[in-house]
Structure 1
Amino acid sequence: MSAKHAKPNFSHPQVVGIMKRLFRLTPSEIRSLPSYDDQNLYVASIDGGEYILKIMNSEDSKNTSLIEIQTYAMSVLHQNGLPSQTALPNASGKLMSLEEIDCGNGCQKYMVRLLSYLPGTTISKVPLTPQLLYETGKMAARMDQILQEMEHPHLSVLQREKFIWSLSNVPSLEAYINILEGDPLEEVVKSVIHQYKTSVIPKRSNFRRCINHGDFNDLNVLVQPDESDGHRISGILDFGDMNSGYYIHELAIAIMYMMTEHPKPIEVGGSVLAGWESVLPLNEAERDCLYVLVLSRFCQSLVLARRAVALHPENAEYLMISSRRGIRILRNLWELGKEQVEKTWFQSVAQFSDKL
């Protein structure tokens, strides 16, 4: 993101001003939350309400139809009983407002929404038991099923052909591969892209289409303690990567990010897959491509994080969160090979089925 499309950096007084003017609320506490390229803030008001103020970066703020769809998708999931945030109307009854303000990069327009606050901690902070991973897979599948039934006049904006984070666009990573020059991982990434082209693309016509959340990761899933000393999912966050894709993409993304948080990453896939298949059993083509798609997401995360750090060194710590552990896991998955990894995953699914 260039300075022209910079991440918003609203000051404390600017946030207070927006809360009062747009939402008739007086903040008693404002706290920054992590974000890749937007500004997310926890806001408590003096009347006891808790909210998330989401300020989109200036580039994404231009795409009103896309933000409208994302906002609508959140409410559809919420209406269907999934723990999704919803946008709250401002003083003039609108769910989103384009605000022109100078927060350090000259006057820019930023889309502002106030979202409901969901209690819980990110799934990255709790032990990933087989049961919680199962529930994660099940939730991801239910979410995509509901999104696929969604009706909206602007659905076509989700056909994001050039969207770099879409698992349909893995070959476009080749444009940035020089960022890994001299790194031993360069060969692994090139090899995964080659496998994607030769083994995934020819089978893609057999994948089932759907609308993807696209970023079902360890910082976008909230959990709370349940009655049995475990955890249940209490929140699904961040719909900024929604795109038209395939069910198998969502599953691969969920597996990849849960692996980055687990002491034995290889064991993660089976539990997530078992949960997913309790809702949506995979067909033969999807099953055959899962391994390469998981590796492809690791490659996206690695290459695009390195690229973002080159552009924004000041944000390096957040940008490299998934990428650091991912390097080791990617290498390990690659060295184990498709057959060995699939065997571990599919045996684990069979064991889950026996228990249920």
Structure 2
Amino acid sequence: MERVLLTEADVVKLVQRLYGLQTTKQTILASYDDVNIRVIVNGTSRNRHIKEVSEDGYVLKVLNTVDSKKVEFVGAMHAAIEKVSRAGIVTSHPVPNIHGQFHSTECLQSRSGKEGCMFLVRLFQFVPGDLLEGKTYTSQLCFEAGQLAGQLSNVLKDFEHPGLVNHSRHWNLREVVNLGDKIDSIVDLEDRKLVREVVEQFKQNVVGNANNLLKGTVHADLNEGNIIVKGSEVSTEGEKSMEFHVHGVLDFGDLVHEYIVYEIAIVTAYMMIESTILDSIDVAGHTLAGYIKELQLPAADCNVLKECICARLAQSFTYGSHEHKLDPTNTYCLRTSEKGWPVLRRLWKIPKHELYAKWAEILHGYSLTANFENC
């Protein structure tokens, strides 16, 4: 897999050539596999397909060489974005290029220096707001993150597209069963053992229970970097502070037709890692409450929620360790591990009936219930 190499001059030329816009400022955004660059442009355009130039700018997205070949899947992403947007959920839209197309494949230089690589290029409107990353996770903010996941599940549960048929990426939660020898890249032997236990339980209780679980299309990557929040100043006892609320969602690159329970499990896993003021188990309860507010899960799905959350944590940490072993200079891939391992170790040890009883207590505070009866 190759990633594109773009200089500032390359970005200016690419945006001008493909989209008829003049870049005045650019900022590289964090990305795991691809290249994302926010560009601010002046108010002029020679693209007749752009009715109004965005003052907030755009995000130039260049996929890696592997994902660049999945053109039909890109069509599925764009269709899902349109469906989500029509439902009133704030998200970023693809912008047509000068030919009226929402993507093009370009011959560009790769970071390894390889010439002639083909990369799929798109431009998205930038959605103003802040990322959830780095914010203080209050119980309300956790609830709203879960609520966003539930809203997405409601909108996408019946969404189908040819580009999703037989489509899967390595970040699909189901792929946790194929971690294999990547687990050996984990330095701590006890953590290796823990991940193997998680994988085995996932195989037995989730994959082995496939016929009883709801299926639908899931965003599958609701993390702190893909959730948009907006802040407002509030005054409490004479002291002013910022209060944030969930505003929208980004990046449908991991979209997949899978078990619906993956959506709440994935967002819960990331919320648990990033919390600084709430107990991680409570974070999960508040996040689940937000989801249940929008969509009630059947008992079979509730029963495997713990396994799915642990599987996402194990998957993230294993991939991170593996990528770091391949490239020790890549520290971005380890960003969740330091805070995340203690969360996984603790969560895995808690008996399911105790865990669900705690979550049920939190749900009760919202006048909500979940189908934990048989768990």
Task: Answer whether TM exceeds 0.5 for this pair.
Answer: yes
After superposition, the CA RMSD in angstroms is 1.9
Q: What's the offset of the Cα at 1:235?
A: 2.6
Structure 1 unmatched ranges of 5 or more: none
Higher deviation after alignment, 334-343 or 186-195:
334-343
Distance 2:142 2:63 in 1: 30
Q: Give the TM-score, by structure 1 length.
A: 0.92
Q: 1:118 is matched with which residue? A: 127
Distance 1:215 1:242 in 2: 8
Match of 2:6 among 5, 10, 13: 10
Return the letter of the residue paired with 1:200: V
Q: What's the offset of the Cα at 1:181?
A: 5.8
Q: Look up the SS of the partner of 2:5 in the other structure.
A: coil
The list of structure 1 runs, each at least 4 consecutive aligned residues, that deviate by more than 6 angstroms after superposition, is none
> Map of 1:1-356 to 2, 5 A cutoff?
5-47=1-43, 48-103=55-110, 104-152=113-161, 154-157=162-165, 159-160=166-167, 163-180=169-186, 182-226=188-232, 230-263=243-276, 264-316=279-331, 318-353=332-367
| Contact persistence 1:61–1:110 (CA under 8 A) | yes
Distance 1:49 1:230 in 2: 22
Q: Residue by residue, what CA displacement relative to the aligned partner does 1:176-222 show, whole Å, maximum 9, x if unpaired?
A: 22222653201111111122223223332111111011111111111
Q: What's the offset of the Cα at 1:109?
A: 0.8
Q: Look up the SS of the partner of 1:278 in the other structure.
A: helix
| Contact persistence 1:141–1:247 (CA under 8 A) | no
Number of residue equivalences: 347
Q: What's the offset of the Cα at 1:311?
A: 2.5
Distance 1:237 1:304 in 2: 22
Distance 2:287 2:22 in 1: 42
| Contact persistence 2:145–2:287 (CA under 8 A) | yes
Q: Residue by residue, what CA displacement relative to the aligned partner does 1:88-123 show, whole Å, maximum 9, x if unpaired?
A: 101111100111112433221111111010111111
Q: Look up the SS of the partner of 2:367 in the other structure.
A: helix
| Contact persistence 2:218–2:263 (CA under 8 A) | yes
Query: Normalized per residue, which structure has more helix?
Result: 1
Return the letter of the residue paired with 1:16: V
Q: Check 1:249–1:188 CA distance in 2 against 1; reply closer, same or farther (3 A cut).
A: same
Q: Give the TM-score, by structure 2 length.
A: 0.88
Distance 1:164 1:23 in 2: 31
Return the letter of the residue paired with 2:42: I
Q: What's the offset of the Cα at 1:234?
A: 2.3
Distance 2:306 2:339 in 1: 18
Q: Check 1:150–1:227 CA distance in 2 against 1; reply closer, same or farther (3 A cut).
A: farther
